[in-house]
Amino acid sequence: MKEGEWKRYTEILKKRTLAAPSILAGDFGRLADSAKRAEEKGADFIHVDVMDGHFVPNITFGPDVVKALRQAVAIPLDVHLMISRPDIYAARFIEAGADIVTVHKESEHDIEKTLSDIQDMGAEPGVVLNPDTDISAVTDVLDKCRMVLVMSVFPGFGGQSFIPDVLKKVEKLKALREKNKWDYWIEIDGGINAETSKLAFSSGVDVIVAGTYVFKNKNIRSAINTLKREKVEKQDA
Ligand code: DX5
Ligand code: ZN
């Protein structure tokens, strides 16, 4: 992501949360069409769930799919790597067009090095925490993150139930960011719907991922709009 684009989204974030529909719940026979539809209906980012069948018990997309999505939409691709060796594969996803690349603390790698490699390759680096991983496991790398993704389900599958307990981590991440003047965005992923997105918003989330709620919804535009939660009261003209 270009610095100007990053700043533009940071400005938007002063007013509302960002909506990142997860293509995992799109039509696998027509992924590009699903991504385009989400973009047309107001998505800020397309969230891409990459699973390797090893780090999680499911297999989804490789870099070529990211490349096809890159050609289909203009909005940033937020690529969530649920893979054992993000240090080896991050480059391939960045070459394919990933704008934001988030990597799990629980994967097998030197996370500090992976994050700085992602940044050197021109993408926004982020760290992901499973529901049972504490913030203390990543505090030493938070200054290198442009995104911190708090998983609100155990990764691997769409359509699971939201784990409210993780909201404490969102609040803590927000407090830490203010205290240390860090600049990451806080993202939540898993089991998001109208109700849980409201809870996430109240805890201080910036970017809201939703798969099932968006793509299995009869009204995709209104579902995406629900994820864009206003932070300030609108002034009457
Ligand atoms: C879970 C994925 C999520 C998932 C969310 O492993 O990281 O992004 O697609 O799906 P829903 O919104 O259906 O819970
Ligand atoms: Zn995800």
Mean pLDDT, rounded, for 159-182:
98
Please state at what angle helix 31-40 crosses helix 63-72, rounded to 10 degrees: 40
Mean pLDDT for the stretch of residues 124-153: 98
Strand order of the β-sheet with 46-51 is 18-21, 207-210, 185-189, 147-151, 124-129, 100-104, 77-82, 46-51
Best mutation site among 160, 187, 216 for ligand 1 pocket (most ligand atoms within 8 Å of CB): 160
> Does the beta carbon of 117 sit less than 6 angstroms from any atom of ligand 1?
no
Rounded distance between C-alpha atoms, residue 82 and residue 128, angstroms:
9
Using the Cα atoms of residue 92, residue 96, residue 97 and residue 98 in order, give the sign of their dihedral.
negative
| Ligand 1 site-directed mutation target among 101, 189, 217, most atoms within 8 Å of CB | 189
> Would the CB of 26 count as within 6 Å of ligand 1?
no
pTM for this entry:
0.97
Residue 49 annotated as catalytic: yes
Cα 196 to Cα 171: distance, rounded to the nearest angstrom: 15
**Bridge partners of 189?**
151, 209
Contact between 101 and 127 (Cβ < 8 Å): no
Sequence-ordered alpha helix ranges (H) in 84-232: 86-95, 111-120, 167-180, 194-203, 212-215, 220-227
| pLDDT of 99 higher than 80 | yes
Q: Name all domains of the chain by residue range, CATH numbers in brackets.
A: 3-222 (3.20.20.70)
Length of the chain: 237
Residues 100-123 pLDDT 10s = 999 999 999 999 999 999 999 999
Q: In the structure encoding, which two tokens stand for residue 37, read together?
A: 């539809």
**pLDDT level of residue 3 (50, 70, 90 thresholds):** confident
Vertex 141: Cα angle to 205 and 138 (nearest 5): 70
Reported as type and span, the H/E element at residue 88 is helix 86-95
- Letter for the amino acid at 200? A
Residue 79: strand pairing partners: 48, 101
Q: Is the pLDDT of residue 237 over 70?
A: no
Residues 6+ apart with CB under 8 A from 201: 17, 208, 229
